[in-house]
Amino acid sequence: MTKKANPSTDILAASRLTIDGVKGIVDIVEAMYYTITRFGGILGNSKQKRTTGITGMVFRIIRNVLGLVGVGIDALLGKLSLIINDKESSPGREAVLAALNGVLGDYLAKKKNPLAISMQLHIGGKKVNTESPEFLASLQKSNGKIVILVHGSCMNDIQWHRNNHDHGKALANDFGYLPIYLYYNTGLHISENGREFSNLLETIMGKLPQPTELIIIAHSMGGLIARSACYYGELSEYKWVIQLRKIIFLGTPHHGAPLEKSGNWIDNILEISPYSKPFSRLGKIRSAGITDMRYSNLLDEDWKRRDRFELTGDPRTPVPLPNHVQCYTIAATVGKDSSKLGDNIVGDGLVPLNSALGRHKKPEMNLLFPKNHQWIGRDMKHLDLLNHPVVYERIKKWVEA
């Protein structure tokens, strides 16, 4: 499963990102230099002003040189791109690209960097032209049985294939579903991806034969994208929402991920001292998609007009599961036996059980999955949900139901 890639475009985009990163480091070093030379107290506020005099001139020269180098590299590689042929990409390159978008995807999109991933549908690892005769023929052959697979943060569609197993291909073999894989920039806000996914589904579902049997299988962040898409689909009165029969969540952090909550605490602890404050800017380069997973924001109003790095409580608007859709959830835990530490904190290594099962102490936040729509996989890690045979047997049972 390969995709086309332009090496010169990759180098050009990477050079832009590197230069921006070096400029950011220069800013951090200058801020530290300014703070230390003022001999401030260990605790206290620092406005992080720029240095003046000879030191300030040095930093200005560094920035100007970096700017000129950036223009030079962009111009040079722009010409090179005209003579370098496209070559086949590799799963390794795609994995790096997906991880980069997960961490910096919002920045890449804002800067219109060529490395920014645009949302698209894939079949067999290749981008789908939703207007092509080949795609339309695939839809007709499916007899309306479609399964959409939505990957998690920092991942891509190829990574559904793990240890010689792919849930989508298995469902195609066992039940005749046409597996279609969503590929998207996981660094964007969840609500931005959710709305775009909803629009994309509305585009393709109108081309399907009737009746339609649409199923979504979503891993990790992908489950949040699916829930957000359902919300915006209902808001727009889209037809695809009515055609959706089931959603199966795999390790989805419905109520947030502890690692991002910890990261937010570290951001604010570093802000306490003027000596450590410049380093807090390093942590704050992480994407909107990652910070959204602190509490699992699904809607625009959960993050708009807010400082996403500020230490606050849960800002979310409650979003229940779509009531006309059969929703199932699978949680995993690395522990072989139930324990408060293993279940409530560690979970599958990224998502604790209560979050994956949609449980919340506030009634309005509790997702209320029926008991027979929940399943816990023990002695299992987050990525094991993609290929563990017991997990697929549970998926298969729910699809048959």
25: three-class secondary structure by DSSP: helix
The two beta strands, 145-150 and 326-333, are: unpaired
Q: According to the model, what pLDDT value does residue 43 have?
A: 44
The long-range contacts involving 11-14, CB below 8 angstroms and separated by at least 24 positions, are 11/77, 12/73, 12/74, 12/77, 12/78, 12/81, 12/114, 13/108, 13/113, 13/114, 13/115, 14/115
Residue count (the chain)? 401
Alpha helices in 38-90 (DSSP H): 53-80
Q: Which 8-state DSSP code applies to residue 298? A: -
- Amino acid 262 reads S
| Structure token digits, residue 336 | 């072989």
Beta bridge partners of 374: 329
Preceding amide of 211 cis, omega within 30:
yes
Q: What is the DSSP string of 205-242?
A: HTTS-SS-EEEEEEETHHHHHHHHHHHHHHHTT-HHHH
Q: Which 8-state DSSP code applies to residue 321? A: P
Q: According to the model, what pLDDT value does residue 159 have?
A: 94
Using a 10 angstrom Cβ sphere, with 0-12 exposed, 13-18 middle and 19 or more buried, the burial of residue 118 is exposed
Query: CA dist 231 to 53, 149, 226, 258, 263, Å?
Result: 55, 18, 9, 25, 28
Cα dihedral value 292, 295, 297, 303, nearest 10: -70
Give 10-residue mean pLDDT values along the chain (401 residues).
58 58 53 50 50 55 53 49 50 80 86 89 93 91 93 94 97 97 97 98 86 92 98 96 96 83 45 47 71 92 80 86 96 82 71 93 95 96 95 97 86
Using a 10 angstrom Cβ sphere, with 0-12 exposed, 13-18 middle and 19 or more buried, the burial of residue 289 is buried
Q: According to the model, what pLDDT value does residue 143 have?
A: 87
Task: Name, in order, each residue with C-beta under 8 angstroms of 232's C-beta and a sequence gap of 6 or more.
Answer: 191, 194, 195, 198
Q: According to the model, what pLDDT value does residue 286 have?
A: 75
Q: Are 325 and 344 contacting, i.e. CB atoms less than 8 angstroms apart?
A: no
Using a 10 angstrom Cβ sphere, with 0-12 exposed, 13-18 middle and 19 or more buried, the burial of residue 275 is middle
Q: According to the model, what pLDDT value does residue 59 have?
A: 53
Q: Are 249 and 328 contacting, i.e. CB atoms less than 8 angstroms apart?
A: yes
> In whole angstroms, what is the distance from residue 181 CA to residue 345 CA?
31
> In whole angstroms, what is the distance from residue 78 CA to residue 72 CA?
10
Q: According to the model, what pLDDT value does residue 188 have?
A: 97
Task: Name, in order, each residue with C-beta under 8 angstroms of 235's C-beta and a sequence gap of 6 or more.
Answer: none
Q: Are 116 and 109 contacting, i.e. CB atoms less than 8 angstroms apart?
A: yes
Distance of CA 236 to the CA centre of its chain: 23
Stated pTM of the model: 0.80
Distance of CA 278 to the CA centre of its chain: 27
Domain boundaries, the chain: 4-89, 120-256+316-400
> In whole angstroms, what is the distance from residue 150 CA to residue 224 CA?
10
Q: According to the model, what pLDDT value does residue 293 have?
A: 87
Q: Are 333 and 347 contacting, i.e. CB atoms less than 8 angstroms apart?
A: yes
Query: CA dist 224 to 11, 175, 231, Å?
Result: 32, 26, 11
> In whole angstroms, what is the distance from residue 162 CA to residue 165 CA?
5
The sign of the dihedral angle between the CA atoms of 368, 374, 376, 377 is negative
Domain 120-256+316-400 coded CATH 3.90.1170.40: no
